[in-house]
A and B are shown apart, each in its own frame.
Chain A
Amino acid sequence: MRYHAEYPDLRKHNNCMASNLTPAIYAKLCDKATPNGYTLDQAIQTGVDNPGHPFIKTVGMVAGDEESYEVFGDLINPVIKERHNGYDPLNMKHPTDLDSSKIHSGLFDERYVLSSRVRTGRSIRGLSLPPACSRAERREVERVVVDALAGLKGDLTGRYYSLTQMTEKEQQQLIDDHFLFDKPVSPLLTCAGMARDWPDGRGIWHNNEKTFLIWVNEEDHTRVISMEKGGNMKRVFDRFCKGLKERLIQERGWEFMWNERLGYILTCPSNLGTGLRAGVHVKLPLLSKDPRFSKILDNLRLQKRGTGGVDTAAVGGVFDISNLDRLGHSEVQLVQTVIDGVNYLIECEKKLEKGQDIKVPPPIKQFK
């Protein structure tokens, strides 16, 4: 009966973990642990500590290592299904496709698109994830990644700035470039143990041209970002795929966490699959005031954010528009979806400028 005394009080909670955890699942999993010793209580702690918001449904759990997705599958799989619009890890396969040559129409009208960006994350197989990793593991992630990045050449040549060792001048430059990341303050992350030992083992790598950036040991082992001003999403995605070559770490005996059910394995179940968010900053002052704006975005499988990123407001009619989906579609498919969608939004804006009417596009087929 031990599990009965231990079952969390989730009556005030609104997150995917709380919606899917039951006493039966808890009883079945509460005494299990991954080979590294990570437990169910640890995986759900962030969701217990952060009841959530009636309007915003957070995930409410994390993985401490790759095996968490297997050992705690009875809870994580329904969470994944809910978060990723019906994608069923038990029955479906996730497609991975990083062949950027397949992209078409990837040049936006720069009178509207101010900047383009693609980000994802990668985890190094064999090392625990940020909620659970020890200092030695975190330092090993840093070593492996920095070593591999030293092998990048040409327009990807760059250097690493360790958070513990950067000079004041370097720090100021990184802040001015908007590259520097801070110790997490969000309780969603701190309650999951991701800020432990800060800033040990954390750092930022970027190429000399400042168009390719890697965060080491923040919320994931690595966050990989390709970006530039203007509307050349094709070039951004080309660079993204080039820089992500797993060959660099494979030469040193490592590989990324990946499997055919879940795609790339990251700390938060919301980032499984491609872990990819491709987006633009785009001027849509007229369209954004149209009452059909949200429905158009929905049908195009896009989401809007303010120009400060998640949970910020738009400024001057400029929105951050990116893909909603992460899992069940490949990188190429998602980037093409963003390209097609943003082009449609720009056409709408142009129509409204001329006083013409716009149409809500039919919804893109989902696998639900």
Chain B
Amino acid sequence: MTKNCHNDYKMKFTTDEEFPDLSQHNNHMAKALTKEIYEKLRGKSTPSGFTLDDVIQTGVDNPGHPFIMTVGCVVGDGECYEVFKDLLDIVICDRHSGYKPTDKHRTDLNYENLKGGDDLDPNYVLSSRVRTGRSIKGFTLPPHNSRGERRAIEKLSIEALASLEGEFKGKYYPLDGMTDAEQEQLIADHFLFDKPVSPLLTCAGMARDWPDARGIWHNENKTFLVWVNEEDHLRVISMQKGGNMKEVFRRFCVGLQKIEAIFMKHDHGFMWNEHLGYLLTCPSNLGTGLRGGVHVKLPKLSTHAKFEEILTRLRLQKRGTGGVDTASVGGVFDISNADRLGSSEVEQVQLVVDGVKLMVEMEKKLEKGESIDGMIPAQK
């Protein structure tokens, strides 16, 4: 039985008969998909059986919002980025500020290349965090993987993480096996992740078989955390209170590289190529997949007329303190890098470090009633 015999069956209908109605839609996929592209790609599938209809289903089911542009597509395996490049290259270019199919992405996880970052004023910068995702070669991704694959990923991950020592010594908590006490603690620490409810994720099939083979690992110090089999194979998070982003980034790079070395020993390195960097489920997370950010108090700057422009020029984005799509509370904002693809980890974290340092200085100036006009940065 071939995995794509369902797709073969669909081919007896014409392109016109199958083409989705995207007239109400506002997402990157809906903008990029034409009947010509659909006609060209609809008969294809990756070796694991993922098809164009699978890629776009989440974007068809979720028309989006007039103000917020979602991606509207996902991949089921690493090969999708090649097999469906006629669609995905356009989506990637649109989402990642003009990134071309011929561009090369830089990877730099050498934390010593980061300048400064250990002196952000803790009176303003309340906490610092860096996260990314990783996909494990040889397995399909959350929209597509079977229970067997997901369990194998979990098993490999547990093995890899169990071998970490020193500051990285920690423990794994499977979602389906934790005690009530463990669950309470993980919730109190804000570590526990829930079954996805966002239709962006559920329509892409990422919540199937929940909570089978999902879990959370963290070190004893609670400064390094790994999510297994949520929206990506692995989500890796380094964090701590205060403004020492340098230390957070050091731990991030060291931990990631230790984990990768163990996976490579088992012939299951991370999915990566020199055009797209690290391959993840959502095209928005390609490249570094990195979001490095701080929770920072900017009550005056955030109400300044030029706040948005300053952020844009610094290549930063703001979110509320609850994360994406939440509001800020008490003038405290989550400020992080806007870019993922086309610049390296060091470069992106550098932008955060430099940008936040500048914004804190601006905040202090505004507190004294002085103007910040002379400090507005050029476009980075």
Contact = CB atoms under 8 A, between A and B. Distances in A.
Interface string A165-197: 000000000000000000000000011000111
B18 A49 contact: no
A35 B9 contact: yes
Nearest to B212: A9
B280 to A, nearest CB: 24
A136 B1 contact: no
A195 B209 contact: no
A200 B209 CA distance: 27
A9 B176 contact: yes
B3 to A, nearest CB: 9
A72 to B, nearest CB: 14
A33 interface: yes
Interface stretch (B76-84, B143-151, B156-164): B143-151
A6 B150 CA distance: 9
Contacts of B14: 136
A200 to B, nearest CB: 5
Nearest to A33: B1
Contact of A37 (B9, B13, B57, B60): B9
Contacts of A198: 61
A36 interface: yes
A56 interface: no
Interface in A23-50: 31-33, 35-38, 41, 45, 48-49
A41 B1 CA distance: 14
A355 B5 CA distance: 68
B208 A32 contact: no
Interface residues of A, number: 32
A37 B212 contact: no
B207 interface: yes
B210 interface: yes
B14 to A, nearest CB: 8
Contact of B7 (A32, A37, A195): A37
A31 B61 contact: no
A36 B9 contact: yes
B250 to A, nearest CB: 38
Contact of A2 (B1, B8, B60, B148): B148
B1 A195 contact: no
A196 B20 CA distance: 11
Contacts of A140: 17
Given A31-B1, A49-B207, A5 B152 contact: yes
Contacts of A132: 6
Interface in A221-259: none
A134 B56 CA distance: 13
A164 interface: yes
A177 B140 CA distance: 47
B61 A196 contact: yes
A137 interface: yes
Nearest to A41: B146
Contacts of A200: 20-21
A195 B61 contact: yes
A132 B7 CA distance: 11
Given A33-B1, A37-B9, A136 B60 contact: no
Contacts of B176: 9
Contacts of A38: 6
Contact of B212 (A8, A33, A164, A191): A8
16 contacts: A5-B148, A8-B147, A8-B209, A31-B1, A33-B1, A35-B9, A36-B9, A37-B9, A49-B207, A134-B10, A135-B17, A135-B19, A136-B13, A136-B14, A136-B17, A137-B13
Interface of B: 1, 4-10, 13-14, 17-21, 53, 57, 60-61, 146-148, 151-152, 176, 202-203, 207-210, 212
Given A37-B5, A48-B209, A197-B60, 6 more contacts: A8-B147, A37-B6, A136-B10, A136-B13, A197-B61, A200-B21
